[in-house]
Amino acid sequence: MQNKYNKLIAYFEENMPVAESELHYENPYQLLVAVILSAQCTDKRVNMTTPLFFQRFPDAKSLSEASVDEIFTIIKSISYPNNKSKNLLGMSKVLVEKFDGVVPDDVEMLQILPGVGRKTANVVASVAFNKPAMAVDTHVFRVSARIGLTINAKNPLDTEKQLIRYIPESIIPKAHHWLILHGRYVCKARKPNCNECGITDICDHYQSIVKNS
């Protein structure tokens, strides 16, 4: 298994040396808001929405003083705007009350905030603070299983534990984006572009196609 990971890492280090979030943000607060908004929504749509949002609510304090209706008006084009409006308001209030408006860099502390589950906490810790946190979204969960990086992972936490066992701590933040971007643009859910993929030699899914063809 380690050999498979080594080949994967070598490929992406050469072909995608820079791998970053496609969300637009300038500080940890903005990233946290953007990640909450991005749940089951495209980064493109989030990036269209956040400029006005951050103009109106430039920090946690201003957001904590808003109403759910004010937030909803700005994010109504985002998926699940009702729930996200409530979560954003709740998140900002706790951020102000418990953390003086400063986004914590610890995964467990981040999960105290309303609307912040483990995936969101890992993204913020990894992207904003370069912590070795492996966020597992739908792309990472699917791609890891399809390639064969994970074995019988039943949920995102299973996937996370298996990935960090084999990926060096120093590149976990970047590896997270490798898998996301590979899943978004090459190893797509319904129709993976195997002809464009550079890691077919270590991919269980591709090898099974070749074997059965």
Residues that are catalytic: 119, 137
Three-state DSSP at 80 gives coil
Of 45, 55, 87, nearest to 68 by C-alpha is 87
Are the CB atoms for 133 and 121 separated by under 8 Å? yes
101: number of Cβ within 10 Å? 16
Structure tokens at 162: 């298996």
Task: For residue 144, give the amino acid letter.
Answer: S
The CA distance from 52 to 15, in Å, is 35
Task: For residue 207, give the amino acid letter.
Answer: Q
Are the CB atoms for 169 and 175 separated by under 8 Å? no
CA distances from 170 to 1, 16, 28, 62, 154 (A): 19, 16, 20, 36, 26
- Burial class, 154, CB count within 10 angstroms (exposed 0-12 / middle 13-18 / buried 19+): exposed
